[in-house]
Amino acid sequence: MSSGPGRVGTGPGRVGAAAVALVATTAEVLAHPELDEGLLAPWERHRLTGIRVPSRRDDVVAARLLLRLCASRVTGLPPRDVTPAQRCPGCGRDGHGRPYLPDRPGLGASLSHADGLAAAVVGPGPVGIDVEPLTRRPGPVSVLRRLLPHDEVDAACAEPDPGPALLRLWVRREALFKAGRDDVGVTTWTDRDRAAVVALAGTDGADGADGVAGGLLPSLSLGQAPPSGR
């Protein structure tokens, strides 16, 4: 993805690729010429009315629009013809929970947003993505020990500066949770242009790009895959 305003993912197209993952600032998404809030479905716009903080509302809009752009690049449809839905695996109700593409049952979808950042992925099978600001520090450690593998938390805490390592563990857990499975490939990396830490989880793919979860082939930084493991 380009770092310039209004240039989210304007590199070579990936129509029909195994998967497309995009990470951007909220400002980049909202300035993108293919995307605007009018693309959102009525139920999505209705949910926005409950968000009172303008910056958080913008983040939610950006993530939902970025999901459409990912789906557009995978399916070849224009973003306006992409109609994501959501269903909660817990209660079975629509309108919240895990996103999916009703007309593309073979494709998984996931989105994330946090403090001026947005991320999304669409690809075959279960996929999940999570993004957090580079400066965020999850905790307290006592809570992380209940949610993450103890040995991994201990290893992170043994580092001179545990914060970045704990953050990578956290986004990794969130990406796996969104994929709905713990037995899939996952990678984390740092997008320093956007001061973000990202985790991408998934199962299927083509071409087996180095360092990319389960062979997923994301469209990041004008089509370049993230560095392995960081």
Q: Please determine, for residue 62, whether its predicted confidence score (pLDDT) is greater than 90.
A: yes
Answer yes or no: are the C-beta atoms of 32 and 8 closer than 8 Å.
yes
Q: What is the DSSP letter of 225?
A: P
Q: Compute CA distances 25 → 106, 195, 197, 205, whole Å.
A: 28, 9, 12, 26
How crowded is residue 180: how many other Cβ atoms within 10 Å of its Cβ? 15
Strands (E), 63-221: 85-87, 98-100, 107-114, 117-124, 127-133, 185-191, 196-202
Q: What is the pLDDT of residue 148?
A: 82
Question: Tell me, what amino acid is at 94?
Answer: D
* Half-sphere exposure in the Cβ direction for 7 (13 Å, CA): 9
pTM strictly above 0.75? yes
Answer yes or no: are the C-beta atoms of 200 and 212 closer than 8 Å.
yes
Whole-number average pLDDT of the chain: 79
Q: Compute CA distances 172 → 38, 49, 52, 151, 208, whole Å.
A: 32, 31, 29, 15, 20
Q: What would the pLDDT profile of 201-229 be if each residue is shown by its tens digit?
A: 985 543 233 333 333 334 443 233 444 43
Tell me the percentage of the chain whose pLDDT exceeds 90: 49
More confident residue, 118 or 209: 118
What's the CA gap between 31 and 29, in Å, rounded? 5
Q: What is the DSSP letter of 120?
A: E
Pick from 56-60, 70-74, 123-127, 213-217: least confident: 213-217
Phi–psi pair at 10, nearest 5 degrees: -95, 15
Q: Please determine, for residue 5, whether its predicted confidence score (pLDDT) is greater than 80.
A: no
More confident residue, 4 or 60: 60
Exposed/middle/buried for 188, CB within 10 Å: 0-12, 13-18, 19+?
buried
Q: Which residues of 121-142 are buried (b: 16+ CB within 10 A; e: fewer)?
A: bbbbbbbbbbbbeeebebeeee
